[in-house]
Amino acid sequence: MKLLRLAPENTKFPFMRFRRVSYPFSAVLSIISVLLFLFVGMNFGIDFSGGTLLEVQAKSGTADLSYIRDLSEHLNLGDLEVQGFGTPADASIRFGMQPGGDAAQQAAVEKVKQALGDSYEFRRIEVVGPRVSGELVQQGTLGVVLSIFAVLSYLWFRFEWQFAIGAIIATMHDLLLTVGFFSITQLEFNTTSIAAILTIVGYSLNETVVVLDRIREMMRKYKKMPTDQLIDMSVNAVLPRTLMTATTVFLALASLVIFGGQVIRSFSLAMMWGIFVATYSSIFICSPTLIYLGLRNEHAGRAETATSGRP
């Protein structure tokens, strides 16, 4: 079992000593993520931007991607995005909304079918209109916001108010950095990406609550210990569990990236990034927040003064 441990037991790493570096560093990354979202934007899939997705498979040999791309000059469908995925015989074709409504969109699909002829089998055809995509944006945003407020309410009653604020700051940090990840990598942002974000929120809160619960346990046990030392002890106590959980989930997601195919690749890559960020924030963002919010500092100060005044 010792060979499987990623961190030795009874570590005494001074995590809180780095809070003056981790907070400015994370603040800069969060600002960069917001700027990337505003000025670069994300690669919205047809779930949010509207359009048509066709997945085809060559009946013999491999899919000729260059030939399919050349069709865009003759079909007059605007930007035609062609990608290979899965096996060499598979290809995906995407194009945006056509002027003229649903009838024009269906006519565009028929054009692509006629151009490819009998050489390809159409395995999936998905058409999303602008009204549906707008509703998906609103519902997805509302779902993320409501989940955060629900967790805030739970943590406010379950722990001290400083714990709730620290957890929310860490969660918002993870969300911003995930949005920046989508902006800088230009991975397709679709409904599975919303699922990835909600999963990252859940994982981040789980890791944060584990740390906070150990801090609260240590507060009851060591009532006169300064806050920064108590938090360091708590984080070191859960460090083997945190690293083991993050590593096993990361390896499972890596297998999905390698063998899962193009359909869930954006979800898997976003989750891998989210696991890394959530583990980092539970230690270097949420925990130092308790110090900045004055958790037990006043009590610890009185205890230290009383102790130093004794003969």
Q: Which residues contact 249 (CB under 8 A, 6 or more apart)?
A: 203, 271, 275
Q: What is the pLDDT of residues 133-179, one digit of tens each?
A: 566 667 777 877 787 778 778 777 777 788 888 888 998 899 999 99
pLDDT score of 277: 94
Class of domain 12-44+132-308: mainly alpha
CA distances from 138 to 48, 49, 131, 175 (A): 10, 13, 11, 17
pLDDT, residue 305, reads: 39
pLDDT digits (tens, 9 = 90+) for 206-230: 888 888 888 888 888 887 888 888 8
For the record, the structure tokens of 190 come out as: 């679709």
The rounded percent of the chain whose pLDDT value lies above 70 is: 85
Instruction: Band the pLDDT of 131: cuts 50, 70, 90.
Output: low
Q: Is residue 306 pLDDT above 60, yes or no?
A: no
Third-level CATH fold of 51-128? Alpha-Beta Plaits (3.30.70)
The pLDDT value given to residue 300: 42
DSSP conformation class of 187: -
Average pLDDT of the residues in 282-309: 64
- For the cut 50, the answer to whether the pLDDT of residue 192 exceeds it is yes
For residue 118, what are the contacts with CB-CB under 8 A and spacing of at least 6? 59
Report whether pLDDT(44) > 90: no
Q: Are strands 51-58 and 120-128 parallel, antiparallel or unpaired?
A: antiparallel
Contacting residues for 18 by C-beta, under 8 A, at least 6 apart: 284
Which region among 151-155, 159-163, 257-261, 303-307 has the lowest average model confidence (pLDDT)? 303-307
> What integer pLDDT is reported at residue 265 of this predicted model?
81
The conformational region for residue 41 under phi > 0 = left, psi -120 to 50 = alpha, else beta, is left
Model confidence at 310: pLDDT above 80: no
Other CB atoms within a 10 A radius of the CB of residue 220 amount to: 7
Q: What is the pLDDT of residues 238-254, one digit of tens each?
A: 888 888 888 889 999 99
Query: In the chain, which segments carry CATH 1.20.1640.10?
Result: 12-44+132-308
Residues of each domain in the chain carrying CATH 3.30.70.3400? 51-128
Whole-number Cα distances in Å, 111 to 76, 79, 101, 103, 115: 10, 15, 16, 12, 6
